[in-house]
Structure 1
Amino acid sequence: MILTSARLTIRPFRPEDAPALADYRSDPDVARYQSWDAPFPLDAATRMIAEMTDPAAPGWFQYAIDHEGEVVGDVGVGLHDNLLQAAIGFTLAPAHQGRGYATEAVQRMLAHLFTDRGLRRMSAECDARNTRSVRLLTRLGFRQEGHRVEHTWAKGEWTDDLLFGLLARDFPASAR
């Protein structure tokens, strides 16, 4: 599956993408609100890419965000066992932040999941301090459904989690 938007291609990772994946995931600012630690070794990136085999199967699948042949980030889709709902996550390399790429990639993925694959609901979760992700999710129509105070022990501290949801019927028609 390959998706395109105005400026981006969203596609499965290829083995040759491992160095770029390891590079931006090794940035401490990128890893700050994520589940992995920096540095993110090349062998971990290589293994991660090799283990992703079926985007239609339940579980997480990471897609590369490609801009003009360069991997600039990723969009992850965690498909539920019922194949009717999923969680979404996203990461962008620091050099490519602030240009709307994450919004464009997530919006295109949502359009695919709701329109082409018929999913009914998407959810997202983020660290409450990650204001850029909160703004992106809100901009795309997600509503905040929960706030779990000091819920996650991550990187030596308790963090608050914000929970978001978006139903297919609430996804803006203009974004499809």
Structure 2
Amino acid sequence: MITTERLELRRFQPEDAAAFSAYRSVPEVARFQSWNAPFSPEEAQRTVARFAEGDPLQPGWFQYAIALDGQLIGDIGLNTFDNLMQADIGYTLAPEYQGKGYATEAVGGLLDQLFTVRELHRVSAEVDARNVASARLLERLGFQQEGFRPQNTWFKDEWTDDLLFGLLQSNWRSARSAG
């Protein structure tokens, strides 16, 4: 569906379930996400099957599989608004692939497609303020922090602070043309 220098963003496949279950079962990966570890193989099979049915061109959530040499290493969630001009994103990467530029490459590849092919106006992301690595990834890609909401979300039995990020198509294009 989308290829970058090293990665492929594609539809989920049944054979992704084992790797999906493995990285979603790591407590550090699940810490800032909506699920709890462990993530059972049975739940992974059901979730992968549901993800495979989605349509990235329609409003609502679509989950891209991030593959390196055919192997699932993470995923990116895309929530396209009803107006088809805005979207929210979220992403997860297996720990052994973190810190190697794969998440930046994958999210950047998706943004390029969203802004240049689909011509979206805006992409947003919300991050737990403690997830410094995720906030830095967004900033590397040109997102601007647009808000800070202290103790805004009751999440996993505690109040958490939220950081709000946004990126406009015009800023994405300007950054790409500048270098």
Q: Which residue of 2 aligns with 1:128?
A: 129
Please report how far the alpha carbon of residue 49 of structure 1 lies from its aligned counterpart in structure 2 after TM superposition: 2.1
Cα distance change of structure 1 residues 74 and 174 upon mapping to structure 2, 3 Å threshold: farther
Please report how far the alpha carbon of residue 43 of structure 1 lies from its aligned counterpart in structure 2 after TM superposition: 2.2
Identity of matched residues, %: 58
Report SS of the residue matched to 1:129.
coil
Q: Which residue of 2 aligns with 1:5?
A: 4
**Offset from partner CA, 1:113-138 (integer Å, 9 cap, x none):** 11111111000001000000010000
Distance, in Å, in 1 between the alignment partners of 2:15 and 2:69 is 15
Please report how far the alpha carbon of residue 100 of structure 1 lies from its aligned counterpart in structure 2 after TM superposition: 0.3
Question: In angstroms, what is the RMSD of aligned CA positions?
Answer: 1.4
**Offset from partner CA, 1:79-113 (integer Å, 9 cap, x none):** 11111110011100001111000000000000001
Please report how far the alpha carbon of residue 50 of structure 1 lies from its aligned counterpart in structure 2 after TM superposition: 2.0
- Is the 1:107–1:175 contact (alpha carbons within 8 Å) kept by the matching residues of 2? no
Q: Which residue of 1 aligns with 2:50?
A: 51
The 5-angstrom pairing of residues 114-125 of structure 1 reads 114-125=115-126
The 5-angstrom pairing of residues 58-97 of structure 1 reads 58-97=59-98
Q: Which residue of 2 aligns with 1:144?
A: 145
**Counterpart amino acid of residue 96 in structure 2:** A
Distance, in Å, in 2 between the alignment partners of 1:89 and 1:120 is 18
Please report how far the alpha carbon of residue 41 of structure 1 lies from its aligned counterpart in structure 2 after TM superposition: 1.7
Please report how far the alpha carbon of residue 45 of structure 1 lies from its aligned counterpart in structure 2 after TM superposition: 1.9
Distance, in Å, in 2 between the alignment partners of 1:165 and 1:104 is 18
User: Matched residue pairs, number?
Assistant: 175
Distance, in Å, in 1 between the alignment partners of 2:61 and 2:135 is 21
Cα distance change of structure 1 residues 23 and 100 upon mapping to structure 2, 3 Å threshold: same
**Counterpart amino acid of residue 48 in structure 2:** I
Question: What's the TM-score once normalised by structure 1's chain length?
Answer: 0.95
1:173 maps to 2:176: yes
Q: Which residue of 1 aligns with 2:38?
A: 39
Distance, in Å, in 2 between the alignment partners of 1:46 and 1:18 is 5
**Counterpart amino acid of residue 21 in structure 1:** F
**Counterpart amino acid of residue 18 in structure 2:** P
Q: Which residue of 2 aligns with 1:25?
A: 24
**Unaligned runs of at least 5 residues, structure 1:** none
Stretches of 4+ aligned residues off by more than 4 angstroms:
none
**Counterpart amino acid of residue 125 in structure 1:** E
**Counterpart amino acid of residue 81 in structure 2:** H
